[in-house]
Chain A
Amino acid sequence: AQKITQTQPGMFVQEKEAVTLDCTYDTSDQSYGLFWYKQPSSGEMIFLIYQGSYDEQNATEGRYSLNFQKARKSANLVISASQLGDSAMYFCAMREGNRWDTGRRALTFGSGTRLQVQP
Chain B
Amino acid sequence: SYVLTQPPSVSVAPGQTARITCGGNNIGSKSVHWYQKKPGQAPVLVVYDDSDRPSGIPERFSGSISENTATLTISRVEAGDEADYYCQVWDSNSDWVFGGGTKLTVL
A and B physically associate = no
- B-side interface residues toward A, CB under 8 Å? none
